[in-house]
Amino acid sequence: MPTEKSKPVVAFYGLTCCAGCQLEVLNLEEELLEILGHINLVQFRMGSSAKHPGPYDVCFVEGSVTNEAELAHLKELREKSKVLVALGACATTGGVNALRNGRNIEELKQSVYGDASHVRTLPQIQPLKEYVKVDYELQGCPIAGDEFIEFLTALLTGGEPSEKNYAVCVECRLKENICLMKEGELCLGPITRAGCGARCPSVGFPCEGCWGPVPQANVESEINMFSQKGASFDVVVRKFRMFNASMEDFMKQLKKRLDIEWL
Amino acid sequence: MGLLPEKVLNEWVIIMAPRSTTSPLILKKGDITPFIKKLTHILTVYGPVAKKTQFVFDEISEGSQLRLDYDTTILPPKKYFIPPQEEMVRFSLSPQLNITSPLEESEEATLWNGKRFVIVGIHSCDLAAIKFHDKILTQVYPDPYRTHRRERGIIIGLNCLTPCEESFCKSTMTLSSTEGADLMLTELHDSYYVDVLTETGQLVIDYTKSLFSSASKEQSKSVEQLLTSREDTFPDLIPEFEKLPERLQVGYEGEMWARLGNRCFGCGACTLVCPTCFCFDVKDRVELDLNQGSRVRNWDSCQLVDFALVAGGHNFRPTIPSRVRFRIYHKFWIEPEQIQVIGCVGCGRCTRTCPADIDMIELLTDIQEGGT
């Protein structure tokens, strides 16, 4: 058994988000005690109010940078951490926070807050890796518990955590799900990174893309397939923006095909 | 290139194996349930079952679950011989490295010790694919794991009497494949006509004997007619199929691949559902106790970006078009060169599953017409 001293110091922090990814970690009830046998968890607000100033061996950061204060906080965490891991859609693609991208931020503030002079916010949401060096990313809204465990075990045994550079379709076929695209649904599975275990398609819901784009995502073909299924312009844009509005390639392809100024 | 289309043809003729040597039997449809029940006492039984609007092979505990009227399944029965995820070895790191392999199991599998399984209702295309694996995974890439499972599997085949959507088994000459099956069923009114093809098949019959009766001459004749009439009822959707290897040699850089590549997602679905694809990737996995673990192989796909990525970061097939082209060349040229059999049995699963609606019949017809 490693002593507290020899165990890696691990911290969790949240920026702007619902904290659902940290909650997923807390939900690993069966495994948590075993995990705590291997790490020195010094900061995890879901389980303890204790605080720790750092430095950290591994720092997990969920959420998006939405203002200057969060940006400063993220930079500080980066400096204090040997390994920094972006946790979940908000941190890896911008998630739903990025829906503001391309819109007039002053108008948005006005419509949400009325007098919004006290609201200080950045006009664009970007993945954390656009601001600081991110060593690893765990995608998803929320992250998948089994991916978190696999990642942690790889890190603890000195292995390189593996990336799933393939689409949700792989997981769907292995589960022998009926292909929702074939059923006429608008599913982002073919251009979305796997890792969720085909969470949504397995219960009959088309993929919304929360794991972010798969490498070499064929966005053009996806737009074609959606159009063939009779999807309106508006529906296609919404579908693509839901979790991936900050993903340049997605938006570039949409712009090219659909001729939208503000994307 | 030393490819001989005649040889390819011959090989398929061998796969289109003869009918039973012992006298054929009759199993009444009403006796399927007690037949399955009896099998479950000594074997793990798999067969086609309904999954919403489609079918899958799954474990069966009741005869009523079995859907012998199925058209095709999402995954082929290869999953029982090469599981999507399979432990190759288990290990523990301390106190000292200890490695065990599932292949070291000493007890021989017999019909009676619960170590064998039976798959009921495998169609001819899938039987041909199992034969294809029997060949390539012994001659070219010997695979002890697959062999281990194959020796434990008993196969009850089922003749197709109506063509299923997207399939082209008449062109691939796999419509009447029966080799590899231990018993072969043909639906005949309210019964199944049963050909006993192997000794194992005979053992199964002996075990469930009371349920079978001898087939009459008339019944044999009816079945003969049914099976021959398929020559007319099944369309030859890709004429001169055996010439595909030759025709692929004409062109490699054609615009066809770019066109297909623009449409293809590179998602790998076609290869995962393919009964002849067998590629895998190997990973070591350590459990949360950081001591025990396993070396696991998972189905891989030549359509995925990491498939041909090697140390140093070079990728031999870095683009989707290059990977689509590779898949076609591998099945229709490389495999015929290796084992004189085309790596496609015409089941049509790739077409049925492709989220980009790429149609294998259209694609192969393009090649036949010199469209590469």
Lowest mean pLDDT among A31-45, A108-122, B124-138, B208-222: A108-122
Q: Give one word for A195, left, alpha or beta, with left for phi > 0 and alpha for psi -120 to 50.
A: left
Q: pLDDT grade, residue A159 (50/70/90)? A: confident
The pLDDT confidence band at residue A257, using thresholds 50, 70 and 90, is confident
Task: Tell me: cis bond preceding B83? Omega within 30 of 0 counts.
Answer: no
A31 interface with B at CB cutoff 8 Å:
yes
From chain B, the residues in CB contact with A185 under 8 A are none
pLDDT at position B3? 36
- Which 8-state DSSP code applies to residue A182? T
Distances (CA, A) of A241 to A181, A209, A210, A232, B293: 19, 9, 10, 14, 40
Query: Given CB atoms, is B165 within the 8 Å cutoff of chain A?
Result: no
Q: What is the pLDDT of residue B110?
A: 81
The residues in A 160-179 lying below 8 A from B, measured between CB atoms, are 162, 165-167, 169-170, 172-174, 176-179
> Helix/strand/coil (H, E, C) string of chain B?
CCCCHHHHHHHHHHHCCCCCCCCCEEEEHHHHHHHHHHHHHHCEEEEEEEECCEEEEEECCCHHHCCCCCCCCCCCHHHHCCCCEEEEEEEECCCCCEEECHHHCCCCCCCCCCCCEEEEEEEHHHHHHHHHHHHHHHHCCCCHHHHHHHHHEEEEEECCCCCCCCCCCCCCCCCCCCCCCCEEEEEECCEEEEEECCHHHHHHHHHCHHHEEECCHHHHHHHHHHHHHHHHHCCCCCCCHHHHHHHHCCCCCCHHHHHHHHHCCCCCHHHHCCCCCCCEEEEEEECCCCCEEEEEEEECCCCCCCCCECCCCCECCCCHHHHHHHHHHHHHHHHHHHHCCCCCCCCCHHHHHCCCCCCHHHHHHHHHCCCC
CB contact under 8 A, A173 and B74: yes
Nearest one of B13, B37, B43 to B200, comparing CA atoms: B43
> What is the rounded CA–CA span in Å between residue B138 and residue B141?
6
**pLDDT at B13 > cutoff 60:** no
Tokens for B83, please give them: 């599981």
| B269 interfacial to chain A (CB closer than 8 Å) | yes
A contacts of B301 (beta carbons < 8 Å): 166, 170
User: Please, what is the average pLDDT of chain A?
Assistant: 93
DSSP A162: P
R_g over Cα of chain B: 22
- Contacts A165 to B, Cβ<8 Å: 304-306
CB < 8 Å to A191, chain B: 265
Any CB–CB contact under 8 A between A96 and chain B? no
Mean pLDDT of chain B, nearest integer: 91
Question: What CATH class has A9-156?
Answer: alpha beta
Of the candidates A57, A50, A81, the one whose C-alpha atom is nearest the C-alpha of residue A8 is A57
Which token pair is B31?
């006796």
Residues B76-128: tens digit of each pLDDT: 999 999 999 999 999 999 899 999 988 886 677 788 777 899 999 999 999 99
The pTM assigned to this predicted structure is 0.93
CA atoms within 13 A on the CB side of B10: 6
B18 pLDDT exceeds 60? no
**What are the residue ranges spanned by the domains of chain A?**
9-156, 168-258
**What gap in Å lies between CA B335 and CA B332, rounded to an integer?**
7
Q: What is the DSSP letter of A40?
A: E
Contact with chain A for residue B53, Cβ under 8 A: yes
- Band (pLDDT 50/70/90 cuts) for residue B75 is very high
CA distances from A110 to A115, A116, A139, B107 (A): 6, 6, 32, 75
Residue B54 backbone phi and psi in degrees, to 5? -125, -170
How far apart CA A84 and CA A15 sit, in angstroms, is 14
Stretch among A148-162, B5-19, B116-130, B233-247 having the lowest mean pLDDT? B5-19
- Backbone torsions φ then ψ of B299, nearest 5 degrees: -55, 135
Cα–Cα distance, A30 to A107 (Å, whole number): 47
Q: Are A88 and A17 in contact (CB under 8 A)?
A: yes
Residue B317 contacts A where some CB pair is shorter than 8 Å:
no
- Predicted pLDDT of residue A259: 67
